[in-house]
Amino acid sequence: MNIPKLKKIKSEKKYHDITLNDDYAWVDQPDILEVLQDANKINSEVKNYINSNNKITENYFEDVLGLQKDLFKEIKSKIKLDDISLKYKDKKYFYWTKTEAKSNYGKRIRQLIDKSKPEEVFFDADLEKKKYGSEYFGIGSVNVSHCDNYLAYSLDLKGSEYYTIYLRDLRTNKNNKDLIENTSGNITWSLDSESFFYTKLDKYHRPKQIYRHRLGSSIKDDELIFEEKDETFTCSISLSSDEKFFIISTSDHITTEEYFFPSNSKKVNPKLFKKRIKDVRYSIDSWQGYFYMHTNEGARDYKILRCKVDEIDNLEIFIPPKKETVIGDLDFLDDYIIRGEKSDAIPKLFVRNIQTNKEEEIKISEEVIGVPSFSFKQRDTNTTKIRVGWESMATPKKIYEYDIVTKKRKLVKETEIPSGHDSNKYIVERIKAKSRDGRMIPISLLRLKNSKQDGKSKVLLYAYGAYKHSVSASFSASRFCLVDRGIIFAIAHIRGGGDLGDVWHEEGKKKLKKNTFFDYIACANHLIDQRYTYKGGICFYGGSAGGLTGGAVANMAPDLFFSMLLLVPFVDTMTTMLNDKLPLTPAEWDLWGNPIKSKDYFNYILSYSPYNNIEEKSYPSMLITTSLFDNRVLYSEPVKYIAKLRDLKKDKNVQLLKCKMEAAGHGGMSGRDNAIKELAEEYSFILKTANILK
């Protein structure tokens, strides 16, 4: 294998009297954000290096192309390709979606409730993709106006998340001249359907300004209604549940501030609800004359307050905080409130009678570990019927029509696995590992019921561990391609994520970030100690900030793994946190710390940043992916990482880089078949490195 070399240019930069050496700093070209919109601006040497690596990766997979084809067919056989969603009853129309075997993106359909006219496909994503002639087709929003006559939709045709908004008259099915570029993709219609709100991206790809566009007017005349001046904050707009108010939310990762104005306002004058306080998050909604406030002020895992809409300074407790329980947001019917909560990484659903204030849990499964869900079946909130769903790692999702009063339920949709699925063949377990500081870390496991706990199985241990993101123990049909081949699938609910609430998140960020990595290693060792697997029998699987977790544990405990998949990984943490011109960096300082201003944070990030801590030792086999158009984790990070890894590593294992040069985003290429193809390739890497080629 002819491994390409990336040239080295000595680079020394001083921060806080500390010299940072980086022979590949030149890869971080100054105009790197421009590459997201014009691939021709990439440095030619970097482009050649990427192409050489892509060729190596292609050659590596040559002997498992047959397996990839089998996996592609196997994964696809587990998906009901011709499928129709449940219908949602709006004011005049039923709305639903449909997928077909021949399509990749699906259709959005509606029909008048009285069925006086035939069904109407008002947005066919496959046809739209063909019309725009793009390899990549990212859909931001597809929103029909309140009068049902107009469709506003946003598209990203490269993968760099610069969305263009288009407007269509559904009566003629023709697009208007209204075309708004460089937006965040979100669209919120006014109630009179004469205008809509959108958020404009600034030169650093940050949504900072909210505009109102009036139909038929020039984009140049769009009205700026809100602008966020703080470089770390970004903003958005939404409509309250009762449609009485528009709500503007502006926030960084730990602090929010919200404004509101009546939805029937001709002149917009946003009113502040509650002034921002550092590390206080809140959101508001309105219903039946009250504002409901979901906040962590004085309640790390949230509580619900409320006040009359004309007495916003007179808040009272509606749902108090609960110890070690995450209180979720509220959804409203005329007589009932539905809400979720979570404790010990197990979510639950509750319904509250507004008149009596009595509350009870909605239970629809005897399984302990799983994921409940709910949705409305209609726009009219004068009802006692909702849709409630349940799924687990072993059980496909079932959706029931549930009557809150009678508690009767009727199965209305079940996720169908065309190739067949028997939930009784599998075991779902919840075990806990003790981390370095004594914290007990939950692990969710899925395995074959007849598998032996003899320390001989291989384990895929997935993790994320950042942004307060929770990894649910939900169903994924594709996982059984691995599980049915004897690989145990496990989720490490590590700190930095939000599986056990706000404290769980707090204990895995800033100067406690290493807890994330120690937690993962503790989970891996516990699986070994409990004889689910053995040392060297684990595959790491994670992406983005999860890729940071993987890169860090690769440096700390490489002998635990037979292979690792680092997907669009955040592995050059220090360089990114030192560049305040990148899209996400200023807002990220509240998660990782600001190494520009603080020597302590500089030293701490430097102590774990995967790129900066690669050593002269053996590393496991790796598949590292990235995309030229990814604005969340720039392609330069994995490129620099693989180059330095090959400089220093002492093993003979294969470490591969695959960079998508065609249009693709942070989540990969667009379209169902492309997603399956990528997954089949990832699974073939796991199975090849596990020596399971059947």
Q: Is residue 119 within 8 Å of 87, Cβ to Cβ?
A: no
pTM: 0.92
Q: Which of 348, 370, 338, 389 is nearest to 86 (CA)?
A: 389
Helices 672-689 & 65-77, crossing angle to 10 degrees? Answer: 130
Q: Is residue 181 within 8 Å of 197, Cβ to Cβ?
A: no
Q: Is residue 265 within 8 Å of 245, Cβ to Cβ?
A: no
Return d(Cα 595, Cα 576) in angstroms, integer. 10
Q: Is residue 348 within 8 Å of 338, Cβ to Cβ?
A: no
Return d(Cα 300, Cα 326) in angstroms, integer. 8
Return d(Cα 479, Cα 280) in angstroms, integer. 38
Return d(Cα 268, Cα 273) in angstroms, integer. 15
Q: What pLDDT digit, counting tens, does each position of 410-436 carry?
A: 999 999 999 999 999 999 999 999 999
Strands 488-492 and 459-462: parallel
Q: What pLDDT digit, counting tens, does each position of 597-643 carry?
A: 999 999 999 999 999 999 999 999 999 999 988 878 999 999 999 99
Helices 599-608 & 514-529, crossing angle to 10 degrees? Answer: 30
CA dihedral 43, 47, 48, 49 (to 10 degrees): 100
DSSP letter assigned to residue 448: E
Amino acid at 495: R
Q: What is the mean pLDDT of residues 386-392?
A: 97
Could you give the C-alpha distances from 126 to 129, 131, 190, in angstroms and in order? 5, 9, 28
Backbone phi, psi, residue 367, to 5°: -65, 140
For the beta carbon of residue 513, count every other beta carbon within 10 angstroms. Answer: 25
**pLDDT in the model for residue 598:** 97
**pLDDT in the model for residue 613:** 98
**pLDDT in the model for residue 324:** 82
For the beta carbon of residue 460, count every other beta carbon within 10 angstroms. Answer: 23
Q: Output the average pLDDT for the chain.
A: 95
Token pair 């998660």 is found at 591
Q: Structure tokens of 60?
A: 């590596």
Return d(Cα 412, Cα 409) in angstroms, integer. 9
Which range, of 322-326, 459-463, 488-492, 547-551, averages the lowest pLDDT?
Answer: 322-326
**pLDDT in the model for residue 583:** 83
Position 36 confidence tier, pLDDT thresholds 50, 70, 90: confident
Q: Is residue 296 within 8 Å of 282, Cβ to Cβ?
A: yes
Q: Is residue 24 within 8 Å of 644, Cβ to Cβ?
A: yes
**pLDDT in the model for residue 177:** 80
Q: Structure tokens of 610?
A: 């995967």
Is 531's pLDDT higher than 80?
Answer: yes
Of all residues in the chain, what percent carry a pLDDT higher than 90? 88
Is 251's pLDDT higher than 90?
Answer: yes
Q: Structure tokens of 433?
A: 């590992």
- 275-503-359 Cα angle (round to 5): 80
Distance between start and end Cα atoms, the chain: 26
Helices 545-556 & 514-529, crossing angle to 10 degrees? Answer: 60
Q: What pLDDT digit, counting tens, does each position of 352-382 carry?
A: 999 999 999 999 998 989 999 999 999 999 9
Give every CB contact of residue 305 below 8 A, 6+ residues apart in sequence.
292, 293, 295, 315, 316, 317, 318
Q: Which of 301, 217, 616, 635 is nearest to 470 (CA)?
A: 301
Q: What is the mean pLDDT of residues 175-200?
A: 94
Is 1's pLDDT higher than 80?
Answer: no
Q: Structure tokens of 676?
A: 């399956």
Return d(Cα 309, Cα 245) in angstroms, integer. 10
Backbone phi, psi, residue 296, to 5°: -105, 10
Return d(Cα 346, Cα 442) in angstroms, integer. 10
Return d(Cα 48, Cα 105) in angstroms, integer. 33
Q: What is the mean pLDDT of residues 214-243?
A: 95
Question: What 3-state class would DSSP assign to 646?
Answer: helix
* DSSP one-letter string for 655-676: EEEEEE-SS-BTTBSSSHHHHH
Is 574's pLDDT higher than 80?
Answer: yes
Q: Structure tokens of 241?
A: 């549940």
Where do the H-state alpha helices sit in 363-490?
Answer: 480-483
